[in-house]
Amino acid sequence: MSRRSPLAARLINRASRAAQAMGVAPPITPSALRTQAERATGLQRWHGPQDDADTFEAGLEVLCGAVGAPSTLNGLGRLALHMHLFRALSTRLRRVAAPAPSVASLTGPVLVVVGLPRSGTTLLHRLLARAPGTRALALWEVQHPIPPMRGPDR
């Protein structure tokens, strides 16, 4: 028995198919994504002194080539992937433009929790965050690790 998608997902998929048929769907290509990220951030420098430009370019080409064909993903999947790649590329531009953080500004040891899903990392993260004198990252800090380029906090 197959499960039916929620109404919102079906509507998004239908609208996406129509947009693709009319040629107005945002393409998932390296050049289109890079242009969108450059326009959104106002930045154009993609590589810092420590970056391997060839690896970045090749990886983006392979990723977009693997999932960019219209038949690979449904409309909702294409929308989610487009938003994720746009956010990642925008973050890369901001990271390259941002001054390098100073390790000397750290006030104490840093503990990083890493693990596979469903392995207890969330529980460990929450337990460590409750300890006095510690601070855990908020979700928005993980998704957007570079502060905004403009605004009252700049």
The CA distance from 65 to 29, in Å, is 8
At 111-149, the pLDDT tens digits run 888 888 888 888 888 898 898 888 888 877 777 776 666
124, two tokens = 């460990």
Is 46 in a helix, a strand, or coil?
A: coil
* pTM for the structure as a whole: 0.69
Residue carrying structure tokens 């531009």: 93
Cα separation, 119 vs 7, whole angstroms: 33
Structural tokens at position 151: 């605004």
Task: Give me the residue spans of the domains in the chain.
Answer: 7-97, 103-143
